[in-house]
């Protein structure tokens, strides 16, 4: 959500940004905002002037009555009544105009960073760098659920009977591996100086609309029937919501937080074979990193955040690459974003395992997250988020890249303490 003053002064910049995001259907919103913003401000000025005049002449009524000038007093009363009626009309005009402006401003995308590549969709995303050598072994890599089944580690049929498609039971060593990676990711981020949190797994609607666009909300969020609560799609939602309506002393920035949570997503639409199993599911678990900082520091933190995910995956012997998201692939609140993708020896290509986003002041503006500077002045914070690791999707990359020809799976040294000292998994089937 951009600053209304910026739109007033730079409407063509806003229009060009909309064009860069290939959302030309939103271009009329700029003119509509300008029109109704002017109506609102004009109504406010006229109402303020009438209130001042009303207060001034109201004082005359008592004096006129005391002087026996009843007719003149009555005329003043009528003028006061007429002013009150007009003020009510103006207040209604302003309220209606403000609501139109607010609704439109929630739809107009954030101004993207100049470095963002321009393109209509994710086919135009740009590879930044690869880390580690992608290897395709001599032996065939089974589908990830088949690998898990050799360890008696997954039960999709029972989950389907209990909850439907998009759910799973993880069991035994595979379930332990799942939990071990999350515990390792937690300690990894604590080691980077991040403050560990367990957040609420449900949030109110005002937080939902503060952290994401309406389109994302509709595609992702599960609503709790009969209550003003939604299940979180990522702990970023409740972690950023933690700061709603807060004024943070500048000396307490940056706020660097890492959080664990289950995540719940609708994941609408049909998906191909590679997105079945535990790749695209309705329920998963995630370790997230969140930063609230001064505006001038947000790009520096952006680069730090995605690099932490790269470091984590490389420590588990998983090759990855970073991919810069193009303008058309950016959600409306994002200034800049990149994906971390892991190598799939089975598919012989990379697939997404995490996403890093700089949202500028968009979330802070919607949630009214402000910073109080040393000079006493207040300004909006910048917010960022990034996936440390999301499981069980991460298990796909882990199992494929650590699978041996005999069906065993090597456990990297960093995970061995979390797996009770185990150095490998041996298949039971």
- Complete domains list, the chain, with CATH: 4-107 (1.10.287.40), 122-425 (3.30.930.10)
pLDDT over 90 (residue 105)? yes
What's the pLDDT tens digit per position in 383-407? 999 999 998 889 999 999 999 999 9
Please provide the average confidence, as pLDDT, over all residues in the chain: 93
CA distance 119 to 121: 6
* pLDDT band at residue 216 under the 50/70/90 scheme: confident
* Average pLDDT of the segment spanning 100-128: 96
What's the pLDDT tens digit per position in 72-85? 777 777 887 888 89
pLDDT over 50 (residue 299)? yes
pLDDT over 70 (residue 271)? no
pLDDT over 50 (residue 38)? yes
* Average pLDDT of the segment spanning 162-167: 91
Among 54-63, 167-176, 183-192, name the one with the lowest average pLDDT: 54-63
Which pLDDT score, from 0 to 100, does residue 78 have? 83
CA distance 283 to 28: 38
Which pLDDT score, from 0 to 100, does residue 328 have? 97
Which pLDDT score, from 0 to 100, does residue 334 have? 96
pLDDT over 90 (residue 273)? no
Which pLDDT score, from 0 to 100, does residue 268 have? 62
Q: How far apart are the first and last CA of the chain?
A: 54
pLDDT over 60 (residue 272)? no
* pLDDT band at residue 71 under the 50/70/90 scheme: confident
* pLDDT band at residue 290 under the 50/70/90 scheme: very high
* Average pLDDT of the segment spanning 231-257: 96
Q: Give the contacts of 292 (CB within 8 A, at least 6 positions apart).
A: 240, 243, 248, 253, 254, 255, 257, 364, 369, 381, 382, 383
Higher pLDDT, 64 or 11: 11
* Average pLDDT of the segment spanning 91-111: 96
Percentage of residues in the chain having pLDDT higher than 90:
83
pLDDT over 70 (residue 429)? no
* Average pLDDT of the segment spanning 285-299: 97
φ, ψ (nearest 5 deg) of residue 313: -70, -35
Which pLDDT score, from 0 to 100, does residue 114 have? 97
Which pLDDT score, from 0 to 100, does residue 269 have? 54
Which pLDDT score, from 0 to 100, does residue 270 have? 46
Which pLDDT score, from 0 to 100, does residue 214 have? 73
pLDDT over 90 (residue 276)? no
Which pLDDT score, from 0 to 100, does residue 355 have? 95
Percentage of residues in the chain having pLDDT higher than 70:
97
* Average pLDDT of the segment spanning 62-78: 75
Q: Look at the pTM and tell me if it is higher than 0.85.
A: yes
């Amino acid at each position: 959500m951009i600053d209304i003053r910026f739109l007033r002064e730079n409407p063509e910049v806003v229009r060009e940004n909309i064009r860069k995001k290939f959302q030309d259907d939103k271009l009329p919103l700029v003119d509509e905002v300008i029109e109704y913003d002017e109506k609102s401000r004009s109504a406010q000025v006229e109402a303020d002037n009438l209130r001042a005049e009303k207060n001034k002449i109201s004082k005359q009524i008592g004096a006129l009555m005391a002087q026996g000038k009843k007719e003149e007093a009555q005329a003043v009363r009528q003028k006061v009544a007429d002013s009150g009626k007009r003020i009510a009309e103006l207040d209604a005009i302003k309220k209606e105009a403000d609501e139109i402006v607010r609704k439109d401003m929630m739809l107009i995308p954030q101004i993207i960073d100049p470095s963002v590549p321009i393109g209509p969709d994710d086919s135009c995303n740009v590879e930044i760098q690869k880390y580690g050598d992608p290897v395709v072994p001599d032996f065939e890599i089974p589908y990830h659920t088949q690998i898990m089944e050799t360890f008696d580690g997954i039960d999709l049929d029972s989950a389907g009977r209990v909850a439907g498609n998009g759910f799973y039971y993880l069991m035994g060593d595979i379930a332990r591996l799942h939990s071990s990676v999350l515990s390792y990711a937690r300690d990894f981020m604590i080691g980077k100086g991040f403050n560990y949190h367990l957040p609420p797994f449900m949030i109110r609607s005002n937080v939902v609309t503060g952290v994401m666009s309406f389109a994302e909300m509709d595609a992702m969020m599960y609503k709790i029937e009969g209550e003003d609560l939604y299940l979180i799609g990522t702990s970023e939602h409740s972690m950023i919501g933690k700061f709603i309506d807060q004024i943070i002393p500048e000396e307490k920035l940056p706020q660097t937080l890492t959080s664990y949570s289950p995540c719940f997503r609708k994941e609408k639409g049909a998906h191909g074979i590679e997105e079945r199993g535990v790749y695209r599911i309705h329920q998963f678990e995630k370790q997230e990193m969140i930063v609230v900082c001064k505006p001038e520091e947000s790009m520096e933190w952006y680069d730090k955040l995605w690099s932490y995910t790269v470091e984590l995956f490389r420590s588990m012997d998983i090759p990855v690459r970073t991919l810069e998201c193009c303008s058309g692939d950016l959600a409306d609140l994002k200034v800049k974003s990149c994906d971390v993708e892991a190598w799939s020896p089975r598919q012989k290509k990379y697939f997404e395992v995490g996403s890093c986003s700089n949202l500028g002041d968009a979330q802070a503006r919607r949630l009214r997250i402000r910073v109080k500077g040393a000079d006493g002045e207040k300004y909006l914070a910048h917010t960022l988020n990034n996936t440390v690791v999301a499981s069980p999707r991460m298990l796909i990359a882990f199992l494929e890249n650590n699978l041996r020809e005999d069906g065993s799976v090597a456990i990297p040294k960093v995970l061995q303490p979390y797996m009770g000292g185990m150095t490998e998994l041996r298949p039971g089937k």
